[in-house]
Amino acid sequence: NLSLYLGLRSGGNVTATFEVSVLDKYQSVKLTKKTTVCFDSDNKNWGWNDFCLRSYMSNQSIIDDNGTLAVVISIKRDDDAPFFPSNPMSGLITSAFLDEETADVC
C-alpha cells in the first residue's frame, strides 16, 4: 500500500484543506483524495495509511520507466475566523448615559 501523510512543522492551530493526486507516467491524474484537517498540539500529522494499493500502481502504468512515482499535493490554509477588535467606545458612552453627572436628562 501507498501511505501519504502531511505534518505540521510550526506551532499553533491550523486548519488546512489538502488534495493529493497521483499521476501516471503520462502526467494524467489517476487518483485524487481531498480532505480538511485541523492540526493542533494533539494532532500534528494526518494522512492515509492506504492511499492506494501497490497493485493499482503497477496495473495503471503509474510508475514510470525510472521507477518514479509522481504525486501532486495542493495545500490551502483555511481562513481563520474574522478578527473583530473590541470597541471600548460603546462602554464609555453607556456609562456616560447612566452617570447622573454626565447624562443630558434629569
Interatomic CA distance for residues 25 and 57, integer angstroms: 10
Total count of residues recorded for the chain = 106
Within 25-76, where are the H helices? 54-59
DSSP state of 63: S
Confidence of residue 90 (pLDDT cuts 50, 70, 90): confident
Interatomic CA distance for residues 95 and 63, integer angstroms: 72
Cα–Cα distances in angstroms (integers) from residue 28 to residues 4, 62, 76, in the given order: 19, 9, 22
pLDDT at 71: 93
37 pLDDT exceeds 80? yes
Mean pLDDT, range 13-39, rounded to an integer: 91
> What would the pLDDT profile of 50-62 be if each residue is shown by its tens digit?
998 888 888 778 8
- Domain 2-79 fold is 2.60.210
> For the chain, what are the domain ranges?
2-79
